[in-house]
Amino acid sequence: MTEFDAPTPKADAEWSRLHPITLLQRFILSLPGFAAVLLATYRSPDSANWASLIATILYAVVALPLIYLRYARFRYRITEKELVIQSGVLTRQHRNIPLEKIQNVSVVQRLLPRLTSTASVQVVTAGSTTAEGVLEFVSLGEARRIREIVRAYKRVGGAVSGTVETPEPEATVEDERQLLLRLGIGRVLLSGAFRFSLLYIAIIFSLLQFFQPDPEVMTQWLLQERYDPFVAAVRAAPAIAAFIAVLAAALLSWFSGIVVNLNKFYGFTLWDEKDKVAKRTGLLTVSERSIPKRRIQAVIVKSNPVMSAFDWFSANVQMIGHDVNQQGHAVVAPFVRWSEFDEIRRHLTSVSVPAELRRVSVRRAGRLATRYTAAVVAVTVALYFVWDLWWTPLCLVPPLLLLAWLQWRAHMFGLSESGLVVRRGVVKKQMWMLPYNKMQVFYTMQSIFQRRRDLRSVHVDTAGASAVSNVTIHDLRTEDAAELLETLYSRFTAHTK
């Protein structure tokens, strides 16, 4: 039997403070806010200098001491059973987080902390979806120590200190890790290239809006001599100019997508650690996160037509007690081949994709087609009163009909040994793998339109599911829906006994 080699909590568990560098970091982080206040007074010409003077005084008298006070009044300690955090300047807060309730400890390093080798420790419990306890910032060593204590507690199921009777003596974490996936930089760049999002471009433009570049200066700059032929060409053919503008925007957003993606998934690594999987990712912000396997509610594979044409997929897990910013979803494989995914999937869930998936009733296509056409007609009618070319939306009808048909074709479901598999989406392809033993509540729904066509939808609710895209099998024939519900429920009962 080897010695149990986890860091034990300090015997009398005295209070610790955050790393002193926190002061400096909070100060630097407060500067942009201060600058924004100054900028506001600076930009409005009729307000005199006293406004910014007051802002500066307020900043010096209130904000700076507050940074210190917050630091001084923040204490934490980790005992054998719980993590205790005391915080607050005016309102004192005393928070006890029992170690057994801790689902997840993540160590996050943003750019600034990385320069000073500190990290923020975020403790997530099952009761909430946001981090319950945040220690910002502690030294990297301390962060690892806290995580190890929690992990060690989890491993031996309670008793940590003193003579520990470990059921199976285990080696250190590093040894029991099994590498599942490591993405090289080429793969990350490629994955960015496949992801097309207008989101970032919108952010860039809203930032531009904020700085409000002087239009006159801009035009002057644009109208410099060498651009003259170009400007003339634009004047001559506005359609081409518009096309070029759209193309430029698309290129720009494509490029920014690649950069953002690189920042997010640089050095993405995924390990299997027996009862959990751990991942590390990021360029500027390195985050480490471990996902307990029994907390995984579903596995979701996402793709789009271009990606899937080249056999690329991204895999996510839906879990509880996870960061709410990620909608309860954590990426476990940003960009993998199907075969690679299948390998990783084995470590996450027992649900495999059955060889045969069933389609829903073909009336699904008809219903979607009706819905789209109705929407287009509504828009057209509205436009009739305001625009000469009111009939243009009608051109959308044929492609929308095609889309309805494709969506029906893409919507499939199947039952495997241990779970339900549902596929949906044409542009945004998604596939859920939902184990029977994680199902929560079962629904069948029938709207007034479905009733006429003898259709029903089946919906299975799970913990941590997103409210927008969840596991619903739309438009089954009524008797099929009833049968499916029955099968699902009986298998659920069998798997949760």
Contact positions vs another protein (CB under 8 A): 126, 295, 297, 320, 438, 440-448, 451, 459, 461-467, 470, 485, 489, 492-493, 496
Q: Give the span between the Cα atoms of 311 and 316, in whole angstroms.
A: 17
| Residue 416 C-beta: closest distance to another protein, Å | 20
Residue closer to another protein (CB basis): 297 or 314: 297
Residue closer to another protein (CB basis): 263 or 327: 327
φ/ψ bin of 469: left (φ > 0), alpha (ψ from -120 to 50), beta (otherwise)? beta
Largest CA distance in the chain: 85
Integer-rounded Cα Rg, in Å, for the chain is 28
**Helix (H, G, I), strand (E, B), or coil: what is residue 306?**
helix
Residue type present at position 74: F
Residue closer to another protein (CB basis): 419 or 464: 464
Measured in whole angstroms, the distance separating CA 23 from the mean position of its chain's CA atoms is 30
| Residue 407 C-beta: closest distance to another protein, Å | 21
Residue closer to another protein (CB basis): 93 or 496: 496
Residue closer to another protein (CB basis): 220 or 447: 447
| Residue 474 C-beta: closest distance to another protein, Å | 13
| Residue 433 C-beta: closest distance to another protein, Å | 17
Dump strand ranges (E) for 245-328: 269-273, 276-281, 286-292, 296-303, 313-319
Residue pair 335/191 in contact (Cβ under 8 Å)? The answer is: yes
Edge-to-edge strands, sheet with 269-273: 133-139, 118-125, 102-109, 286-292, 276-281, 269-273, 178-182
Q: Give the span between the Cα atoms of 393 and 378, in whole angstroms.
A: 10
DSSP code at position 464: T
| Residue 480 C-beta: closest distance to another protein, Å | 15
Which pair of tokens denotes residue 267? 């050095």
Which pair of tokens denotes residue 179? 């590498």
| Residue 448 C-beta: closest distance to another protein, Å | 4
Shortest CA distance to 333 belongs to which of 285, 291, 284?
291
| Residue 465 C-beta: closest distance to another protein, Å | 4
Residue 270's contacts (CB-CB under 8 Å, 6 or more residues apart) are 179, 180, 181, 182, 277, 278, 279, 332, 333, 344
- 257 by Cβ neighbours in 10 Å (0-12 / 13-18 / 19+) ranks as buried
Residue closer to another protein (CB basis): 287 or 462: 462
| Residue 458 C-beta: closest distance to another protein, Å | 10
| Residue 293 C-beta: closest distance to another protein, Å | 13
Residue closer to another protein (CB basis): 393 or 464: 464
Q: Whole-angstrom distance between the N-terminal and C-terminal Cα of the chain?
A: 36
Residue 453's contacts (CB-CB under 8 Å, 6 or more residues apart) are 363, 366, 367, 475
Residue closer to another protein (CB basis): 94 or 451: 451
| Residue 20 C-beta: closest distance to another protein, Å | 40
Which pair of tokens denotes residue 230? 């170009």
∠ CA(18), CA(22), CA(25), 5° rounding?
Answer: 165
Q: Give the span between the Cα atoms of 168 and 170, in whole angstroms.
A: 6
Residue pair 148/7 in contact (Cβ under 8 Å)? The answer is: yes
Residue closer to another protein (CB basis): 5 or 486: 486
Residue closer to another protein (CB basis): 145 or 276: 276
Residue closer to another protein (CB basis): 47 or 447: 447
| Residue 82 C-beta: closest distance to another protein, Å | 19
